[in-house]
Structures are given as C-alpha cells and as structure tokens.
Amino acid sequence: MISMEMLGKIRRMYFRDKLSLHQIAKRTGLSRNTIRKWVRAPEATQPAYQRCATFNKLSPFRETLEQALKADSFRPKHNRRSAKALFEQIKAEGYDGGYSQLTAFVRSWRGEQGKSLRAFVPLTFALGEAFQFDWSEEGLLIGGLFRRIQVSHMKLCASRAFWLVAYPSQGHEMLFDAHTRSFRALGGVPRRGIYDNMKTAVDKVNKGKGRTVNARFSVMCAHYLFDPDFCNVASGWEKGIVEKNVQDNLARCSKLHVPYL
C-alpha cells in the first residue's frame, strides 16, 4: 500500500520539483502507471490497495531470525553470524527452503532495523529551506476574564521571521488554519517543516526517526508540498531549538506590544 507519506513525496517531486514520471519511478521504485494514477488522484485520497502478506517456507523461522539479528546487532562485526551460519541454524530446525530467501530477508531486516539512524541539525539554512512550528499555552485577559489560549508559532529558519496566531485549542482545524495564515503572512511555503512530536501530527513514535504520521496532517503536507521532519525523542539539544524559538517569540512580542491575532 502506498502510504500518505509516500503520496506526499510523489506530489512534491512532481508538482514542486518538476521531476518526470521516469525520474520519480527511479527514485521510489514504483511503476510509472502507479505514479501517474496517484498524481492525478485528489489530494485527500487515501490509497486503498494493500498487498496480502505472503506465506513461504521461511515464515515459521522469521521470529528466530529476527532474534538472532537483533542479538548480533549489539556484537562487534567480526563476531556476528553470517547468512550462511543462520542458514545452517534454521536448516537444523527444519527449514527446507532456499538460501536466497534467507539472504533477501537478512538484507531487508538490516536495511530497515539494523542500521543506527542519526540526525543532523544544521546551524545555517538557505532561504526557503525550512521552517519551525510549535505551540505554547498563554494567559490573556479577554473581556475582563482570564483565559488560557493556545498560540501557534512559525519561524523561518533562514531569516528568523516569525508569525503567531492564537486559538482556543490545538485541534486539527486550528493546526491547518495556523499554517494557512502563517504561510500567507510569511510570503510562501518552505521546502521542509521541523516539528516536535505533537499529537495532531504524529500518531505513533517508532524506532529512531520513524514516525506513524497522522493521515490528516499528511494530507496537509501533500497539499502545501513540504517535507515534515520531526525532532528525536529525549533529545533536549534538538527539541530545545524549537521550544526556545517559542520563548524568544513571546519575549519579542511582549517588548514590542505586538498582538497575537
């Protein structure tokens, strides 16, 4: 199944980067017919096709192989078991399939799970390269009553220009409206957006940089043709970049007496 994240990448490469169907096919591994179909589909269409899980002779031994590969990932490279060693191990347990099925599984597992993922936050940004987005909770006197409001913060990474909008909550409607107003005020849409792991954007935080992105949030990214990038969990040095921007923006607004709305 083509996920909403992949659909967003296809739309960005086709509409924003002006790549041909052939170039997109080479980068994604998808057929040109599939790419053409989803480029022509409405923005909010969720790809419905899903390939059924296949069962082969290796399937009963997948759990054993995953445990072995996970254990080996903590060992020095010269102490890790080779594919041939794993092949002999599962043959002794009753596997009567081919060697190529095993090597394909090992390559796939090491490509997705076995490599340590690293993130790099640049200190300088090109114009139009990225923006940062976050929320804060503030207190205001409205009609003589003290109320808690949610303030959206968008800052351009290159120029440090920012835009604030106040809302009663942080729901999807407010999130989408905040992006629309901020992009209009700042004069365009950068190529990449940097976010904390807020619940309106991330349904589940997976291993490393992996995220299960909310479908409605993915539709918004595909509509505006920018790539979402999420901070690492428990990485204060990285998360603080976004959150410190919130504090700086509020301090500047309070000194200049700039209204949020």
DSSP letters for 213-252: E-HHHHHHHHHHT-EEEEPPTT-HHHHHHHHHHHHHHHHH
What is the domain range of residue 188?
130-256
- The pLDDT assigned to 236 comes to 47
Residues 174, 153 contacting (CB under 8 angstroms): no
**166 membership: H or E segment, kind and range:** strand 162-167
CA angle, corner 144, sides to 141 and 149, nearest 5?
30
Looking at the fold, whether 168 and 222 belong to one and the same domain comes out as: yes
Digit-coded pLDDT (tens) for 170-207: 999 999 999 999 999 999 999 999 998 888 999 988 87
Residue 218 tokens, joined: 């993915």
Which tokens sit at 24?
């997109």
User: Is 176 within a domain?
Assistant: yes
Q: Is residue 248 part of a domain?
A: yes
pLDDT-derived band of residue 260, with 50, 70 and 90 as boundaries? very low
Count structural domains, the chain. Answer: 3
Q: What is the DSSP letter of 209?
A: T
- 54 lies in a domain? no
**pTM (2 d.p.):** 0.57
Band (231; pLDDT cuts 50, 70, 90): confident
Residue 124 lies in a domain: no
Which residue, 134, 141, 191, 142, is CA-closest to 164? 134
Do both 100 and 137 map to the same domain? no
